[in-house]
Each structure stands twice: as C-alpha cells, then as structure tokens.
Structure 1
Amino acid sequence: MAIKNFYFSQIADLRIEGVGIHASYSVNLTVTDENTPGGKNISVAATGKSNAAKAAGSGNLLFWCKVKNTVDSKLYVLERKKGEYWAVGLDDVPIGSVSFFMPNSVHNSPSLEIEAGYFYDSGYTGTVPPIPGSFKRVINLTPFQG
C-alpha cells in the first residue's frame, strides 16, 4: 500500500477590497493506493488553505474538490461525512474525502485528475470565486499488480 501527500498551490486574485492577490490558495491531498486482485482501492482526503478571509476581514472559504478516475472516467466529489474527524492545522479547512475501487486496465495507466478551488462567502452579499476559479492536476498512481 502506498500513501502519498501532494501539495498544490494556485496564485489567484479576488476582486474584493483588501484581498486581491491574497486570494491565492493551496490544497493538500493524501492519497492511499492499495493494489488488490482486479484493481486498486483508492482513498483521497483533502484540506485547503488561503488568506482570503483574513485579508477581507470576515467571511468563510468554501473549498471543493473533484477526483476523476482516468481508467473508467468516473467522477467523485470529496465531502465531509457525518462522524468523520480531521486533524488539521490552524488555518486548514477540511474539504472532504472519498474512497473508491479502480478496476484493472491494460490500456490505461492508473492516474487521478484533480480539480479544486473555493468560493469566498461574505455571508451577506453572496459567494464569489477567485480568478482563476480552480486548478487541475494529474496524479500518477503505482502500476497495477498481477
């Protein structure tokens, strides 16, 4: 079983007074990759971080993350489940987690396409995405066994 951490950052701008380039953000992913007969068991957990809410003086950051399995093109949305506990740093925002099975494939190398971003929620004027509103990355997994 392989457990790997991935840290992705994105320079961003948020057109709210006091924020601007402080809207840049990062997402930390923990990916568990376990080979089994017929495929892989995959787990992905994510947290996000940005100084946008501090720069604006108030508001909340609503992070989101999607994971696409490149073998069979299934899309998974990370979410926090009831009763799930997270160990996070002072400024980390839990995004969520997902677990799924990836079937063995001789035609495709196992990888995950990640898309993540956030919305700034002021609480009274609505939600606004930063510019750019998200980033995409590819994570290559260990090869299928047997």
Structure 2
Amino acid sequence: MTIKSFSFSQLADMRIEGVGIHASYSIDIVIKDENSSSGKNVYISATGKSNAARAAGTGSLLFWCKVRDLLSNKIYSLERKKGEGFAVGFDDFVIGSIMFHIPYNSSSAPKIELEAGYLYDAGYAGTVIPFPRSLKRVIALTQFNRR
C-alpha cells in the first residue's frame, strides 16, 4: 500500500472586475493504491483552492476533477454539485473522492491522468470559466505485484 500527496497549481485569468490573475487555483490530491490479487485498488480524494470568489466579492466556486485510468481508458468523476459541499479551510473546498479498481496488466505500468478546474458561479449573472479552463497531469502509480 502506498499513499501519495500531490499539489498542482495553475495560473489562470478571469475577465471579471476585481479578479483577473486572482483566478489562479491549486488542486491537492491524495492517492492511496494497494495491490490485490486481481490488480490494484485506487482511492483518490481532492480539494481545490482559489481566491477568485474573494476577489470578486460575491459568488461561489464549483471545483471539479476527472481521473482517467490510462490502461483501461475509464473516466471517473470527483465533482460536487451546485449547492453541495463545504469549505475545509479558508478558500479550500472539497472536490470529492472516488475508489476504483485497475485490473492487472503485466505489460504496462499503472498510470492515471488527472484533469481538474472550477467554475465561478455568480448567481443570477451566470457562470464564468477561468482561462485556461483546466490543468492536466499524469501520475504514475506503484507497479503491480509480480505474479
């Protein structure tokens, strides 16, 4: 069993008065992977952070995160819905968590691709997406147990 923690930052811009470069954000990921007899069980949780809502004065942030298993090409979503979720700390928001299984593959190492971002919800004025709209990273997991 291996537990890894990652923090990824993305410079971003949002054309809303008072926001601009304050639309930059970071995503914190915790990954636990453990080998099983048929492959690997993967547990992922994520939080997001940005100053965009504070800079604009009103509104809320809706973070999202997608994880793709690069061996099977399956996509898993860690998304919270509008009006759901809670703040973890000052400007920190829970994105979600997911558990999935990667079947054993003797010819390839297990890897996942993470894509994450957020929407700024200004209420009656609508939603705005920062530019660039998301960040992508590839994360190599520990090798499968040799059979």
**Class of the TM-score when normalised by the shorter of the 2 chains:** over 0.9
CA offset digits 1:61-85 (Å, max 9, x no partner) = 00000000011110000145xxxx9
Instruction: Structure 2 unaligned segments of length 5 or more: list them.
Output: none
CA offset digits 1:82-131 (Å, max 9, x no partner) = xxx98932221000010000001123210110000000000111111000
CA distance in structure 1 between the aligned counterparts of 2:108 and 2:44, rounded to whole angstroms: 20
RMSD: 1.7
Fraction of identical pairs, as percent: 59
After the TM superposition, list the runs of 4 or more consecutive aligned residues in structure 1 that deviate by more than 3 angstroms: none
Confirm or deny: 8 A CA contact 1:70 1:108 kept in the other structure. no
CA distance in structure 2 between the aligned counterparts of 1:52 and 1:70, rounded to whole angstroms: 32
The amino acid of 1:70's aligned partner reads L
Aligned length in residues: 143
CA distance in structure 1 between the aligned counterparts of 2:45 and 2:91, rounded to whole angstroms: 17
Instruction: Structure 1 unaligned segments of length 5 or more: list them.
Output: none
Moved more, 87-96 or 56-65: 87-96
Task: Show the counterpart of 2:54.
Answer: 54
The amino acid of 2:141's aligned partner reads L
Task: Show the counterpart of 2:137.
Answer: 137
CA separation of 1:20/1:87 partners in 2, compared to 1, >3 Å: closer, same or farther?
Answer: closer
Secondary structure in structure 1 of the residue aligned to 2:53: helix
Secondary structure in structure 2 of the residue aligned to 1:124: helix
| Residues 16-95 of structure 1: pairs in structure 2 closer than 5 A | 16-79=16-79, 88-95=88-95
CA separation of 1:16/1:87 partners in 2, compared to 1, >3 Å: closer, same or farther?
Answer: closer
The amino acid of 1:52's aligned partner reads A
Secondary structure in structure 1 of the residue aligned to 2:132: coil
TM-score by length of 2: 0.92
CA distance in structure 1 between the aligned counterparts of 2:79 and 2:17, rounded to whole angstroms: 30
Using the TM superposition, give the Cα deviation of residue 38 of structure 1 relative to its aligned residue in structure 2, in angstroms: 1.5
The amino acid of 2:100's aligned partner reads F
CA distance in structure 1 between the aligned counterparts of 2:52 and 2:130, rounded to whole angstroms: 9
TM-score by length of 1: 0.93
Using the TM superposition, give the Cα deviation of residue 11 of structure 1 relative to its aligned residue in structure 2, in angstroms: 0.1
CA distance in structure 1 between the aligned counterparts of 2:121 and 2:87, rounded to whole angstroms: 24
